[in-house]
Structures are given as C-alpha cells and as structure tokens.
Amino acid sequence: MAININNLGNSNPITKVADQNAKQQSAQTTQQSATAPQARQDSVSLTPQAQQLSKLQQKSANEPEVNQKKVEQLKKAIVSGEYKIDPEKLAASIANFEFKLDE
C-alpha cells in the first residue's frame, strides 16, 4: 500500500490553507483601514501683505489701462509745439533701459 506523503492527490488541505490565508489578509486589511488616521484637511492663510496685494490687483483691474487725460494733454502740447524733447535725456533713458535688459 502506497502512502501519499505530499498530498498530491488531495487538494483540499492546500485549498483550505489558501482560503484561511486569504481570510486573514482580508481581516488585517480591514483592521488596518479602520485604525488608519483620518486625512487632514488642507488650509491656506494669507498674510496681510498678500491680502493687500490682492485688493490692489482687483482695484487696478477695474481701472482703465490708459490715462486718457494725460494722453490728451500730451497731444495738445505736441500740436501746439510746447512739448520739447531733450535728446540727451532721451538717449540716457534708452541706454539705461537697454542696460537693464542685459541683467
């Protein structure tokens, strides 16, 4: 009479062990998720400077981009010949602007 010491012909003990292992893992996963700490909620707080900047941005968005009054004054000064251009000052301003672009 031959004895099967490896249980190769009978798969029930192996299946039972596999089922038990699966149940234990499932129970551990459920227990871990139940005891896991709850996620914190994110929060944001703005500094007074940031709040002030936000207000200024909103205010500037409501203002026209071009100062029409200033434009009209310059047009009148150019037409009447009162607007004088200093070429040396203009050249210095252009050079300064280009120098700042290189930085």
> How far is it, in rounded angstroms, from Cα 98 to Cα 94?
6
10 Cβ neighbours under 8 A, 6+ residues apart: 4
83 Cβ neighbours under 8 A, 6+ residues apart: 74, 77
pLDDT value of position 73: 94
Task: Band the pLDDT of 90: cuts 50, 70, 90.
Answer: very high
pLDDT value of position 10: 54
pLDDT single digits (tens) 20-50? 767 777 766 666 655 556 778 888 888 999 9
pTM strictly above 0.75: no
The number of residues making up the chain comes to 103
Query: Considering only 10-14, 42-46, 60-64, 75-79, which range has the smallest mean pLDDT?
Result: 10-14
Distance from CA of residue 19 to its chain's centroid? 47
> How far is it, in rounded angstroms, from Cα 99 to Cα 101?
5
